[in-house]
Amino acid sequence: GCPTEWDGVSCWAAVPVGQYRAVACPDILHVFKKSKALIQRNCTESGWSFPSPPSYNACELEAIGSNNDTEAKASYFVTMKVLYTCGYSTSLAALFLAIGIFSCFRKLHCTRNSIHIHFFTSFILRGAAVFIKDAVLFSDESVDHCTLSTVNCKAAIAFFQYSVLANFYWLLVEGMYLQTLLLLTFTSDKRYIWWYILIGWGVPMLTVCVWVVTRLQYDNHGCWDDYTSLYWWVIKAPILLAIFVNFLIFLNVTRMLAQKIRSPDISKNYKQQYMRLTKSTLLLIPLFGVHYVVFALFPEHIGVDARLYFELVLGSYQGFLVALLYCFLNGEVQAEIKRNWGKWQSSMESNVFNLVTQDFTA
């Protein structure tokens, strides 16, 4: 057959003789030209045929071949990398601080906060996976990413996919737990925590293992970071499932909250509590992955510029937003911090008083 080949514009994966490949213009060109042209090559006995139509015409390379446009593209992606690096760094710092707060104060140890800690950890893994992937795949600009196929790069991609899946499924667990709180009238049951852990960490692990075995067996080409492969659906389908289930949970939670607020049997204090929950739920819309539904069913090459902003720039600050809503703006957390701060100040004042008294007595 025809081997994997880089023609200077597109990456052509290996195919048997008699078959063909059709690829779109590279994403880097879509960001600037919005071209949706497909280029086709046939695999013949003598090797790959010439691209039809030629890449030069299909991707309008004449229009973006100038030095100014090349510099603009480079500047654009450097800016994007700086933005999402700052975003993930901010998120990691906030998430580690939030985990420390939940772990240090004993009064904050409960099922709800345990789920939050797991959720925070999934965001930490996702941020770390982005940095690891950048370090492994893009540290050397002279490397041809079309033919790069090392164990390190495949492991980095597998870890990245696991962290993304875990992030979505702990997002789903948060939605399930919020619905459980409403159904059980704000009582929690520790028996469910192991089921939540199984869903949040176990399902992504099983999915990634199936994906890795499938790629090793049937499509062990490149670095596994191509989203045009049919086996990408092994990862994408569970993510879509988590997104849509979470969206249904969000609609159901909103409906239940609306019913409880309108009920004449609910006291004024409870109505205020439900109103706070409603506001929190509305703030959690981006956390439930609702905005991902917009892109979920579109091919990967459509709306690349919007995807870049949502998934890289805005997505990088998602961990910070999670820590802010679940920890830093949490009234229970703030009250516990103030209480311990007051105890520490009183202890310090008492120690100073004792030292002064001892000196005076001496």
Per the structure block, which two tokens stand in for 58? 């299909």
Query: What is the separation of C-alpha 186 from the centre of its chain, rounded to a whole number of angstroms?
Result: 29
- The 8-class DSSP code of residue 273 comes to H
**Diameter over CA atoms, the chain:** 102
DSSP conformation class of 15: B
Token pair 């109505």 is at which residue? 271
| Per-position pLDDT tens, the chain of length 362 | 788 877 766 777 788 888 877 776 654 433 334 445 677 788 888 788 877 766 655 565 444 444 555 566 667 777 788 888 899 999 999 999 999 999 988 888 888 888 889 999 999 999 999 999 888 877 766 666 566 778 888 899 999 999 999 999 998 888 888 888 777 755 556 677 888 999 999 999 999 999 999 999 988 877 887 776 788 889 988 988 988 888 888 888 878 777 777 766 666 666 666 666 666 666 666 666 655 666 655 655 555 666 666 777 777 888 898 898 888 888 788 888 888 877 777 766 666 556 656 555 55
In whole angstroms, give the CA distance from residue 323 to residue 359: 46
Determine the Cα–Cα distance for residues 20 and 42; give it in Å rounded to an integer: 4
> Are 258 and 230 in contact, with CB atoms under 8 Å apart?
no
Beta strands of 102-225 (E only): which ranges? none
For residue 3, cis peptide bond before it (omega within 30 degrees of 0): no
Q: What is residue 53's DSSP assignment? A: S
Q: How far apart are CA 351 and CA 52, in angstroms?
A: 83
CATH 3.30.2020.30 fits 67-339, yes or no: no
Which residue carries 């280029």 as its tokens? 39
For CATH 1.20.1070.10, the residue range(s) in the chain are 67-339
Q: How far apart are CA 191 and CA 282, in angstroms?
A: 28
26-29: list long-range contacts, CB under 8 Å, 24+ apart: 26/59, 27/300, 27/301, 27/304, 28/73, 28/77, 29/59, 29/60, 29/61, 29/64
* Dihedral sign from CA coordinates of 112, 117, 118, 119: positive
Phi first, then psi, for residue 52 (nearest 5°) are -135, 115
Phi first, then psi: give them for residue 280, nearest 5 degrees: -60, -40
Is CATH 4.10.1240.10 the classification given to domain 5-58?
A: yes
90, 317 in Cβ contact below 8 A? yes
One-letter amino acid of 172: L
Phi, psi of 351 (to 5 degrees): -65, -40
Q: 40, 20 in Cβ contact below 8 A?
A: yes
Q: What are phi and psi of 140, to 5 degrees?
A: -115, 110
| 47-54 long-range contacts, CB within 8 A, separation 24+ | 47/2, 48/2, 48/5, 48/12, 51/7, 51/10
**CATH 4.10.1240.10 residue window(s) in the chain:** 5-58
Contact by Cβ (8 Å): 118, 103: no
Rg (C-alpha) for the chain, rounded Å, is 26
